[in-house]
Structure 1
Amino acid sequence: MVRWLLVRQVQQLAVRHSRHNRRQHFRDGEQGSFTLEASLVLPLILFCTITVLFVSLYAYQKVYLQQIARTAAERLAFTWDNSHKDIVTGNFNPSETDGLYFRLTQNHVSDLFGRLVSNESSEIALPSGTAGDLVERKLAKASELLPQGVTGSAKFSNFILDQQVEVKLQKPFHFSPVMSKWFRANQTGGTAVSHVVEPVELIRLTDITRTYFKTIKDRITPQKAREALVEPAQGDLSGPSITIKSERQAAAYLRSLVNGTEVVLTTESGKSRTVDALDARGIGHQAFYSLTEAQLRMEQLPKDLELIQQGTQVKSVVWHFFKKDAGGKGMPSNAFRKELERKGIVVVIHN
């Protein structure tokens, strides 16, 4: 019995010693330390990775909206002089315009000959399906450039000497509820401002100011001046319709068009050349109605090239081609036109 108790105590001491050794080995060994560090660091690394991912997506969407806003503002400013221009390509029909005086009467400028003050800025929401006056219709064209899900506003400000188009865009950004609460960012946005620049109009207004304002000063009342700003009828812009049926009729029409005279010149080689219309600037205009390319190349072209090279009797030469019918019969080919342009002859096609 005593022997059995001794054996039992020895076994218990051995078990206790073994457990103590295992605990000490786990405490002093590297395997337990690695497991503990991994359990603490891995969630932090995962959180940082997800945060960087969402921040990158947020920055990308913000830059994307900024680029769209900048493009929309620049294209609105570029096409501001004509609401009929395509917002992307800038193409337009020459017969479609906003009128001669839209900058004074429909561009948020009032009382030109009085106080010369500007109206309030005009702003519309984007995308916009409806618009009121001319300014709002121009701003509404920016809707064509917006991708789906992007909203915002377009604003036009006229400071007389400085006209600005401002576009503001925003788009929802889908954060997780937790990150949305932390970062407080539920949407991204972009803003761009572009200035309306019209070099041709600036030169025209400057010339009018220098030339005519001194002349009309104190000779017309502001009321009379405003009444004079009447848009010409669109039908008057195209001029009268003329039908050309012969070479002689084409030459006569050309002389009336350029206010030129018919002259007979002699080239350096002694050849005689009849110019249909020589204008005041020394430009020779020639009308063609029925001659073929072979005839033009053999008979007319050498004489005109001599005149151009001589440079004393004519400064330059313009060839005017008049269509015989709607199909364009008698028109020069593209290859012949390019050949003429390379040799310094300007080609004009009349419908």
Structure 2
Amino acid sequence: MNKRIKYSSDRAAARRIWRDERGSAVLESSAVLPLLIISILLLMLMSLLVYERVVLYYSASAAGERVAFRWDNSSRDPISGIAPAGRYDALYWRLGDDDMLDGVFGPFTGKQSDNRLALPLSQTDVSPGESLPVRKMKPSAGRVAVSYNGDMEYQRTPMLRRVVVRLSSSVVMGQIARLSGRSNSRVKASSVIIDPVEFIRNVDLARYYAVKFGSGRTAADKRAKATAILSERKAVTGATEGGTS
């Protein structure tokens, strides 16, 4: 009998302890607060990662747009785009320095020139032997922040010309980016070059030689002869600077 009474009193005491809500706020806070703090920190870190990628992409896009805008005249200011009066690129610079022969006579002129700049630039001065596309890219490429690594490349096809900028950064987000499986932030931006003068001249050139070459057995010989002539002219006009367009 006494055992039964003791058992009943123990159950009642345990039931009272279980139903007692004193200290529950402290217990719940100690369980939830760390999770809340970790969630806030993760959101802040992800926000920083997104912010850096946005700034990085803006820098790449702005650099490419500046180059594309001033492509028709390398004397244009890299920021305002204003060209000094009386200063232009050579009249036939597209033939000599823009790899136009590779676009029209690609199978006959070989590989295109390597028009690429490593970023950040160590110096923006013009070096001997540099192609005009490289000189066109240098002023804008020199304004890319030194904390960014990457390259700027001019890509040319028969119908499309564009400036591609690739940038990466690990200054701020080195450890955070590794959480997503990457050692740094990388972005790629491309800007299409709109040059109506070049387009019209290329179309006229292609139409002219399409009629001249014809489709007979002598077409290949005519194309080879035209390529040789234009290659010689490219060697002469490619080194020409100044003039009017």
TM-score, normalised to structure 2, is 0.70
Gaps of 5+ in 2: 1-8, 215-221
Aligned residues, how many? 218
CA contact 1:69–1:168 (8 Å) conserved in 2:
yes
- Quote the residue 2:120 is aligned against: 127
SS at match of 1:100: coil
Aligned to 1:147: 145
Which deviations, in whole Å up to 9, do the C-alpha atoms of 1:256-289 show, x marking residues without a partner?
A: xxxxxxxxxxxxxxxxxxxxxxxxxxxxxxxxxx
Alpha-carbon distance, 1:63 to partner: 1.1
Residue 105 of structure 1 aligns to a residue in which SS? helix
> What's the % identity of the aligned pairs?
27
Query: Residue 102 of structure 1: which of 72, 93, 102 is its match?
Result: 93
More relative contact order, 1 or 2 (CA 8 Å, 6+ apart): 2
Indicate whether 1:198 and 2:199 are aligned. Answer: no
Matches within 5 A, 1:163-312: 163-175=161-173, 182-207=179-204, 214=211, 221-222=225-226, 223-228=228-233, 230-231=236-237
Q: CA deviation at 1:210?
A: 5.2
Q: Could you tell me how far 1:201 is from its partner in structure 2?
A: 2.8
**What's 1:241 paired with?**
none
Matches within 5 A, 1:35-46: 35-46=26-37
Which amino acid in 2 is paired with 1:187? N
Partner of 1:62: 53
Deviation at 1:154, TM superposition (A): 0.4
Counterparts of 1:60 and 1:187, CA distance in 2: 14
The offset of 1:226, in angstroms, is: 4.2
Distance 1:180 1:63 in 2: 14
2:69 aligned with 1:78 = yes
Match in the other structure for 1:244: none
Task: Tell me: CA distance 1:69–1:180, structure 2 relative to 1, closer, same or farther (3 Å).
Answer: closer
Residue 47 of structure 1 corresponds to which residue in structure 2?
A: 38
Counterpart of 1:162 (choices 140, 160, 163) is 160
Deviation, 1:205, is: 4.0
In the alignment, the residues of structure 2 paired with residue 138 and residue 236 of structure 1 have an alpha-carbon distance, to the nearest angstrom, of 16
SS in 1 for 2:88: coil
Query: Are the counterparts in 2 of residues 165 and 195 from structure 1 also a CA contact under 8 Å?
Result: yes
Query: Would you say the 8 A contact 2:174–2:183 is kept in 1?
Result: no
After superposition, give the CA deviation of every residue in 1:181-219 in whole Å (9 maximum; x if it has no partner).
Answer: 64445432321112222113323444465578757996x
CA distance in structure 1 between the aligned counterparts of 2:30 and 2:75, rounded to whole angstroms: 66
Amino acid at match of 1:100: L
Shift of 1:46: 0.2
Counterparts of 1:121 and 1:106, CA distance in 2: 12
SS in structure 1 of the partner of residue 89 of structure 2? coil
* TM-score for both structures, normalised by structure 1: 0.51
More strand by share: 1
The structure whose residues are more often helix, as a share, is 2
Contact 1:87–1:142 (Cα < 8 Å) also in 2: yes
Distance in 2, matches of 1:234 and 1:165, equals: 22
Counterpart-to-counterpart distance in 2, 1:176 and 1:221: 56
Greater C-alpha radius of gyration: 1
CA contact (8 A) 1:156 1:165 kept: yes
User: Take 1:174 and 1:228, find their aligned partners in 2: how far apart are those partners?
Assistant: 50
